[in-house]
Amino acid sequence: MREVIEQNKIPRRTLYTGAGMPAIGIGTFGSDKYGEAEVAEAVYGAIASGYRLIDCASVYQNEASIGNVLTRVMEEGIVSRKDLFVVSKVWNDMHGEGDVIKSCKKSLSDLQLDYLDLFLVHWPFPNYHAPGCSQDSRNPDSRPFAAEEFMVAWRQCEELVEQGLVRHIGMSNMTIFKLEQVLPLCKIAPAALEMELHPGFQQRELFDYAIAHDMLPIGFCPLGSPSRPERDRTAEDISDMEMPEIVEIAAVHDVHPALVCLKWAVQNGQVPIPFSVKEAQYVGNLKCVTEDPLSEEEIRRINAADKNCRLVKGQVFLWPGANGWEDLWDV
């Protein structure tokens, strides 16, 4: 029998509009390893188990299957639309005039929804790659970030809010350098900032900047993304779940190290979006943030263990003449 986590036990966050959302969700990026049917079935099981935040994206190529699931769980009475907080993102090849709106409408059609709770600009430039590409893949049309170009996409996001197709808009994979260029130009401020966040890469300066500007940090790769694609791997990467601090704290709590990463994330004020197609894992991920919290000393210990190890470096987005992936992140 499926375990169901009670809604009143799941922590929540409040956006600057006053709207609420769960403090943990389920991701839907299959990392080029899991097909859309597997991901969609995991989303069904996750919602049935108590998840209400579903993080989607057009580039994940599974929104149509997830849409069938969303319709199914509502028809079966598991949830109503107002119970869910559904996120999607516009991909990099749809930043042009009119394309962002077209992309959002396609996501809404695929997801079988009338509106999105949050719509993100997935990356801050129009550089893109084909699904499943290798690490050395490059698009000759790639180019550096330009605020004016980004704002073409953002103005359309604002229009989507005005049309009622989107409740909130946000950004993803940004840096402080980029944010300082575009935030003063926004008519509608971003409500969230999706960013890589895990014990080995805490991005404290960017995290604090987001909080100071009323952007809720949503953390992808909260477990260190052990299933991430090969194109996002390098020999220097560390494994969060093998960090001594994480392993030792997990032993104290008698849980898997992954659950320590999630407890830390939620208690630190972010919204992690772990992905799994295995029921025991996604149920455990949700349940762990409702019980047996980490102590303040354990939180401090993990905070001090930051390795500044970015895992999703984005090499495939580099432009001709770039020195390396650091250029993407203004390092």
Beta bridge partners of 118: 87
CA–CA dist 171, 191 (Å, integer): 8
Residue indicated by tokens 């989107």: 166
175: which 2 tokens? 């840096």
Q: Which of 34, 44, 51, 60 is catalytic?
A: 60
Please count the helices (runs of H) and the strands (runs of E) in the chain. 10, 10
Non-local CB neighbours of 274 within 8 Å, separated by 6+ positions: 24, 26, 27, 222, 223, 258, 262, 282, 285
> Contact 81/113 with Cβ under 8 angstroms?
yes
CA–CA dist 233, 237 (Å, integer): 7
**Residue 209 among the catalytic residues:** no
Beta bridge partners of 121: 90, 171
In sign, the C-alpha dihedral spanning 76, 80, 85, 88 is positive
191: which 2 tokens? 């409500």
**Which of 158, 79, 91 minimizes the C-alpha distance to 127?**
91
CA–CA dist 115, 107 (Å, integer): 10
CA–CA dist 119, 232 (Å, integer): 24
C-alpha atoms less than 13 angstroms from C-alpha of 49 in its C-beta half-sphere: 25
Beta bridge partners of 219: 195, 272
Catalytic residue numbers read 60
